Chain A
């Protein structure tokens, strides 16, 4: 790692001010950023740790909405969202491994928007609202392709609001070495329709599978998906799986998610 200054503000306002400095970078749980720094792929002058900000931590459930502070770890979501939004808690409990879950945060995951991360699928399928230090962004507008989001420089994800669905499930086909999703599908059924979000598969990052959404909104059963498939074009193809393989997994996992919901 190149050397950097380390600061640890205790309020969002102080963190925003610190991030306004030249070459400053926010640090969540560090489970992606620290490995990146070790490889010298980034060279911030200052790291602004968000782990000391109490107002960004915790899980709150009220009136059909679960609100999770941006600095809340996966381990805490797995425990504290279990009764209010079980599919979301189950997703959190399968990210990485226990030690990673004790550091990694939902805000960090969403800000990074890794194309194989689990949380983007939950946020997009739930039609979540990403609350930042300066505004609120609908999930549909937030994800803008691999490692790209609507966040401006220095903007912090302070909370995420999930409307709780009637039924939901997330199924991931795990890449066993990294435990990221080779493909992951989150299906969520709301009174006004079904949303299906796919992670790990597309070169554009997380996306909604609208044909499946239409079919499932009319008939919420795995049988409704018979004959539907996503094109292999635009899927990720690498040594872990070809484009065709990933496209096939999208169909299989969506059916499994519907059956599990």
Chain B
């Protein structure tokens, strides 16, 4: 076992891992942060998406040791300091962008990464960006609508109806 340290949602954390420990196992099992989900464990579904040094990655397909010294952001760190939801989270709630909620942590993290890069994405760009995030409930329509709304493009959201 090796000790690793990183920042998760702005807080210094550390723990003992093996070479083969995945980043998602470090978050869920070592740190007890179960907001990041494992849907497939085969890098298909995107439920495990977190940000590492600002880039969206599938934490089921990255070794924990690769994140040594990194800044990691997870769904647990998305709400504002006063406990209110982030713009993206609020839009998912307002526009019914989730049903069972299993895919939602990854969807929110992917959507947040998209809007950081491209603050006013088109519907086509949103759908292209979400290719690695699978939702078995919503049919994606309200997820796309929520992201359009979060980017301040409500007109576009109505056009997507």
Residues in chain A within 8 A of chain B (CB atoms): 1-6, 8, 27, 30-31, 34-35, 37-38, 47, 49, 51, 75, 96-100, 102-103, 177, 179
Contacts and interface: CB of A to CB of B under 8 A. Distances in A.
A8 to B, nearest CB: 7
Contact of B49 (A2, A27, A37, A99): A99
B55 interface: yes
Given A37-B20, A97-B133, 13 more contacts: A6-B2, A8-B68, A30-B62, A34-B22, A47-B63, A49-B66, A97-B46, A98-B110, A98-B114, A98-B129, A99-B58, A99-B110, A100-B61
B61 A31 contact: yes
B43 A3 contact: no
Interface string B37-66: 000011110100100000111100111011
A69 B133 CA distance: 29
Interface of B is mostly: mixed
20 contacts: A3-B18, A3-B20, A4-B20, A5-B19, A6-B63, A27-B63, A30-B62, A30-B63, A34-B22, A47-B63, A49-B65, A97-B46, A97-B132, A97-B133, A98-B56, A98-B114, A98-B131, A99-B46, A102-B55, A103-B58
Interface of B: 2, 18-20, 22, 41-44, 46, 49, 55-58, 61-63, 65-66, 68, 110, 113-114, 129, 131-133
- Listed residue (B46, B65, B110, B131) with the most chain A CB atoms within 10 angstroms of its CB: B131
Contacts, number: 73
Q: List the 6 closest A-B pairs by CB distance, nearest first.
A: A97-B132, A6-B19, A102-B55, A1-B20, A97-B131, A99-B58
B132 A100 contact: yes
